[in-house]
Amino acid sequence: MDEEIPVDVGLIYEGERIRKSNMYVDLAGPKSKGAELLLVVPKDEVEDGKVEVIGPDVDEMEEGGRYPLGIFVKVAGDKLEEDLEGVFERKLHYFCNYIQGFMHLNSRDIIWCRISKDSAKKGLKLYHVGKALIKLYKTEFDVIEKIQITFYTDDKAVDEHIARAREVYEKRDARASALKDEDVDVFYSCLLCQSFAPTHVCAITPSRSGGCGAVTWFEGRAAVKVDPNGPITEIPKGEVIDPIKGEFSGINEFVKEKSNGAIERVYLHSIFDYPHTSCGCFEAIAFYIPEVDGIGIVHRDFQGVTPFGIPFSTMAGQVGGGVQSQGFLGISIAYLRSPKFLQADGGWNRIVWMPSQLKERVREAIPEEMYEKIATELEASDLESLKDWLKQKQHPVLERLDEEAEEEAAEEETREQEAQPVATLPELTLPAQGMPIAGAPTEFTITFKNAKIYAEKVIIRRKG
């Protein structure tokens, strides 16, 4: 144990979950608010080793309480560049979880932290969490020369921090979306989440950031430079197998190797057939709604239920773990802004439902003509009301549904026509004249018993 920190810190605590019964306080999370942000700044703006807590620290919090939380890390170093921010910021998740009795979930402005009763009793405060994080960052990354951490628990200060963090996230995501998959020869992969989803390999391309939203292509490139043996590595692009679905031989080969053969093919831009695997820390889920042949999106912050009647958490439980789930895909919010967003499935024309808060958040990414046609929880809380809304708004999926219905009806008719026997007879005996069969006597009879006779054409002629 470190003299400065009253609990243990180490990799063995990574998988530790703090259940509600053992919770001292909840910080940020779906019923409160928070954000984490790491910035690379000039050296003179960092007081190395400093930890500050603006608002009450754990010892001033009520047991069983819930508080907002902002985490703000500033780092400086000669070799650091802005592109590393997302990758270092993502490390907060892993490093926080090394601290005994401190749990960190998710990323960016959807973080959720918890402190256990046992650790609070030992005296663990946010101040110590900060000290532990500083040590972990400095040990793992030589390039970080100076680091300072501020925690916010004061309501107003957290609000300001969230606003600042969101501005930075937007800037990072916008930068990434200016570049496309076809503009580069190399992609990146992140294996950080294999610690809990062993077959999950994030393929990070200009048009698709990692599921957690924290690692864009630019950040992947920067990470490889400073930490070549780290969890983020290059993936050679290889051949373009399908530019619309986003299938590349380089990604397929890499994913197959790193998933130990469990995953053989990946489509970057589709939720069907070979969708990208989902780990568990994705910011949102895209899900297929067969009843309307459309796709819904739900994000982690949404407290209500999807038109399926289940909330995000239930769906996330079914989707995650590093498997390919047909019709379900864990995605980052940034991917909603990608010009290639689910392009193989129809892109925004296929989106039928999303929470109002998310719709507003990515408003500028949604084509204008589609914005009014996409239902939210306010217009459609179940499949029936969703169908009504889509009809009322003349949503493009209706055409698909009509086309499909027509095709099905036509097929059905053909099948029926094909399948209709022209005669069902208990017994029929025919003289087989005119059927030349080699070696057979010239005149014989064929008897059908209980036969159904299918024919393309039946000609009935009056005799004589």
- Which positions lie near Zn ion, rule CB under 5 A? 193, 279, 281
DSSP string, 406-433: HHHHHHHHHHHHHH--SEEEEEEEEE-T
- Least distance in angstroms from the C-beta of 279 to Zn ion: 3
DSSP string, 208-223: B--TTS---HHHHHHH
- Least distance in angstroms from the C-beta of 285 to Zn ion: 13
Residue 334 interaction partner, one of Zn ion, ligand SF4, none, beta carbon < 5-8 Å per kind: none
Reference 280, options 255, 315, 246; nearest CA is 315
- Least distance in angstroms from the C-beta of 189 to ligand SF4: 8
Name the residue nearer to ligand SF4 (CB basis): 5 or 214: 214
* Stretch binding ligand SF4 (CB under 6 A), from 10-18, 124-132, 206-214, 314-322: 206-214
Residues in the chain: 464
Q: In this chain, which of 190, 226, 289, 297 binds ligand SF4, going by CB under 6 A?
A: 190
| Footprint (CB under 6 A) of ligand SF4, residues 61-90 | 90
- Least distance in angstroms from the C-beta of 135 to ligand SF4: 21
- Least distance in angstroms from the C-beta of 232 to ligand SF4: 7
Q: With the C-alpha atoms ordered 212, 214, 218, 223, is the resulting torsion angle positive or negative?
A: negative
Q: Where are the beta strands (DSSP E) in 267-360?
A: 284-289, 294-299, 328-331, 351-353
- Least distance in angstroms from the C-beta of 133 to ligand SF4: 17
Q: In this chain, which of 34, 68, 206, 210 binds ligand SF4, going by CB under 6 A?
A: 210
Angle between helices 383-392 and 397-419 (to 10 degrees): 100
Residue 115 interaction partner, one of Zn ion, ligand SF4, none, beta carbon < 5-8 Å per kind: none
Within a 10 A sphere around the Cβ of 3, how many other Cβ atoms? Answer: 5
| Footprint (CB under 6 A) of ligand SF4, residues 240-269 | none
Name the residue nearer to Zn ion (CB basis): 281 or 284: 281
* Stretch binding ligand SF4 (CB under 6 A), from 24-32, 68-76, 190-198, 392-400: 190-198
- Least distance in angstroms from the C-beta of 201 to Zn ion: 11
* Stretch binding ligand SF4 (CB under 6 A), from 10-18, 119-127, 208-216, 222-230: 208-216
Task: Give me the residues paired with residue 205 across strands.
Answer: 208
Name the residue nearer to ligand SF4 (CB basis): 55 or 210: 210
List Cα–Cα distances, 449 to 50, 238, 446, in angstroms. 95, 62, 10
Q: How many residues bind ligand SF4 (CB under 6 A)?
A: 12
Residue 276 interaction partner, one of Zn ion, ligand SF4, none, beta carbon < 5-8 Å per kind: none
- Least distance in angstroms from the C-beta of 191 to ligand SF4: 6
Q: In this chain, which of 215, 226, 286, 323 binds ligand SF4, going by CB under 6 A?
A: 215
Q: In this chain, which of 111, 214, 336, 374 binds ligand SF4, going by CB under 6 A?
A: 214
Phi–psi pair at 384, nearest 5 degrees: -65, -50
**Gap between the Cα atoms of 436 and 444, Å rounded:** 11
Per CB under 6 A, does 320 bind ligand SF4? no
List Cα–Cα distances, 197 to 17, 191, 200, in angstroms. 16, 9, 5
**Radius of gyration (C-alpha) of the chain in whole angstroms:** 30
Name the residue nearer to ligand SF4 (CB basis): 281 or 352: 281
List Cα–Cα distances, 198 to 113, 250, 255, 274, 332, in angstroms. 24, 20, 12, 18, 20
Q: In this chain, which of 96, 279, 333, 390 binds ligand SF4, going by CB under 6 A?
A: 279
* Stretch binding ligand SF4 (CB under 6 A), from 17-25, 73-81, 205-213, 269-277: 205-213
Reference 428, options 408, 398, 453, 406; nearest CA is 453
- Least distance in angstroms from the C-beta of 24 to ligand SF4: 27
Per CB under 6 A, does 281 bind ligand SF4? yes
Whether residue 75 contacts residue 116, with contact meaning beta carbons closer than 8 Å, is answered with no
Residue nearest to ligand SF4 according to CB distances in the complex:
210
- Least distance in angstroms from the C-beta of 78 to Zn ion: 31
Per CB under 6 A, does 7 bind ligand SF4? no
Within a 10 A sphere around the Cβ of 393, how many other Cβ atoms? Answer: 16
Q: Which residues contact 230 (CB under 8 A, 6 or more apart)?
A: 223, 224
* Stretch binding ligand SF4 (CB under 6 A), from 212-220, 291-299, 311-319, 342-350: 212-220
Name the residue nearer to ligand SF4 (CB basis): 69 or 215: 215
List Cα–Cα distances, 201 to 122, 323, 324, in angstroms. 38, 10, 11
Strands 34-40 and 69-76 come out as parallel
Interface residues toward ligand SF4, by CB under 6 A: 90, 190, 192-193, 202, 210-212, 214-215, 279, 281
